[in-house]
A and B are shown apart, each in its own frame.
Chain A
Amino acid sequence: DAKTTQPTSMDCAEGRAANLPCNHSTISGNEYVYWYRQIHSQGPQYIIHGLKNNETNEMASLIITEDRKSSTLILPHATLRDTAVYYCIVNTNAGKSTFGDGTTLTVKP
């Protein structure tokens, strides 16, 4: 599976957009990019995923570069409840799943 690299931590002002980057330079053609988040020690929560095209759902938007080597998760109007650890993962293998260390996003009033 492709390895992902994320910044360790980021801050964002409440009400502003939070843009979380992820580098996956070794991604291969059939690998999807997935984003999850974990609030405190709760179970991780699926946010969004994509292959090539940009994706949007009720939680977030996912922008994938044309070469697919990086992506950005966008929370358009961050709230205090969006404070969490955000994981970007890339899985090919149907069984094995590798989560990295993620980005700790702190939304500040």
Chain B
Amino acid sequence: EAQVTQNPRYLITVTGKKLTVTCSQNMNHEYMSWYRQDPGLGLRQIYYSMNVEVTDKGDVPEGYKVSRKEKRNFPLILESPSPNQTSLYFCASSFGGANQPQHFGDGTRLSIL
């Protein structure tokens, strides 16, 4: 089944403790992207990757890192999480970019205390 898989689905952690949210897709998509969703603010793009080893900032990249060493994986790294990064996170992928239909994961709900 074609899918985008995020792990973990839920995480409660403390300020400053490094964490990684993994994202994997099995559709051989070139493009992957991370979004965060907060009440009243819609979906905001954090980082995106057009292909392996190519990443770029979205609208809200501060406090996040990403890497794209393999086509299928696009982890989101919070080196020193803070409470304002408490949010619902989505990973997405598509064949050719944001102007192609994007497939989204089920989301990761992060709570930073």
Contact = CB atoms under 8 A, between A and B. Distances in A.
Interface of A: 31-32, 34, 36, 41-46, 49, 87, 91-102
Interface of B: 4, 31, 33, 35, 37, 40, 42-45, 48, 50, 56, 58-59, 88, 90, 92, 96-99, 101-107, 109
A41 B107 contact: yes
Given A98-B59, A100-B42, A32 B104 contact: no
Main secondary structure of the interface of A (DSSP, over half): loop
28 contacts: A31-B99, A32-B99, A34-B99, A34-B101, A41-B37, A41-B88, A43-B92, A43-B105, A44-B92, A45-B104, A46-B101, A46-B102, A91-B99, A92-B99, A94-B50, A94-B98, A95-B56, A96-B45, A96-B58, A96-B59, A96-B98, A97-B58, A97-B98, A98-B45, A99-B43, A99-B44, A100-B42, A101-B40
Contacts of A99: 35, 42-44
Given A43-B104, A91-B98, 5 more contacts: A43-B92, A87-B43, A95-B31, A95-B33, A98-B59
